[in-house]
Amino acid sequence: MRFWPRAATPYPQCIMEAMALRIVHLFPDLMSIYGDRGNVLALQQRSRWRGIDVEVRSHTAGAALDPDWADLYFFGGGQDQGQDVVGEDLQGPNGARLREGIASGAAALSICGGYQLLGHEYVPDGAPPIPGAGVLDVRTTVGSRRFVGNLLVKSDGGALVGFENHSGKTYLGPRARPLGRVLVGNGNNGEDRTEGAVQGRVIGCYLHGSLLPKNPWLADRLIGWALERRHGPVTLAPLDDTAEHAAQAQAMEVARART
Ligand code: GLN
């Protein structure tokens, strides 16, 4: 079990084998709307505050994904027109490489359009289905109305708050479990009060925001999962999350006030 020095306090540095975290940001040119890139910044910074060396690479459609490199994939949201380009890339060798990377123990966080394309398929309005990578047992089809607004969720690790903006309705298959239960907003489909999906170390959800800066417990869960791939089980040193918790509380208050 490894303990990490808290960068927030003058703390004797543990003499530890240097840890490194490798993040691949999937399709940042096409799939990073509503502040989703802030999730990569949060993962980077919360790792660096703990003395963990972080490298971030981008993957764009047409490049060759290296299934052995990433410890963590981030896949943000995007519009339907971007999703069909991305879907095409994932139908080629890059889809198989992404599945191979996940099977090797890499973690993943996907938001909205990215979430939909980690599932089996996304069926847009008046267009053919866009096949997904199939690493989440979920299916999405466009609904008759757009879900837009604050989203507050009760999850096993604590509260999660953000905002949603999607017309896709996502339904979970038996191999995925919900990330949480909707307290405010619509979540996966506005019907079954579920939000998001978790399968192994892969998480998908509709929480834009960006999500991780004001929901630090989830950021640390993902960092821990990702580090485990090459370093074995780790215990992350706690950080001073006063500001993060204040931001979450404020967003939760706004979400609750608008119900
Ligand atoms: N185009 C998808 C939908 O409307 C995803 C949108 C998004 O990523 N915010 O459901």
pLDDT digits (tens, 9 = 90+) for 209-249: 999 999 999 999 999 999 999 999 999 999 999 999 999 99
Per-residue pLDDT tens over the stretch 49-94: 999 999 999 999 999 999 999 999 999 998 878 899 999 999 999 9
CATH architecture assignment, domain 16-257: 3-Layer(aba) Sandwich (3.40)
Note if 14 is an active site residue. no
Q: What is the mean pLDDT of residues 176-189?
A: 98
* 4 has a pLDDT exceeding 60: no
Ligand 1 centroid, distance to 112 Cα (angstroms): 6
- The pLDDT, as a whole number, for residue 13 is 39
Out of 25, 59, 112, 205, the active site residue is 112
Phi, psi dihedrals of residue 71, rounded to the nearest 5°: -95, -20
Note if 112 is an active site residue. yes
Ligand 1 atom at minimal distance to the Cα of residue 83: 1
> Cβ atoms within 10 A of the Cβ of 132, count?
26
User: What does the block give as tokens for 234?
Assistant: 């780790």
Per-residue pLDDT tens over the stretch 104-149: 999 999 999 999 999 999 999 888 999 999 999 999 999 999 999 9
Distance between terminal CA atoms of the chain?
Answer: 44
Ligand 1 centroid, distance to 217 Cα (angstroms): 25
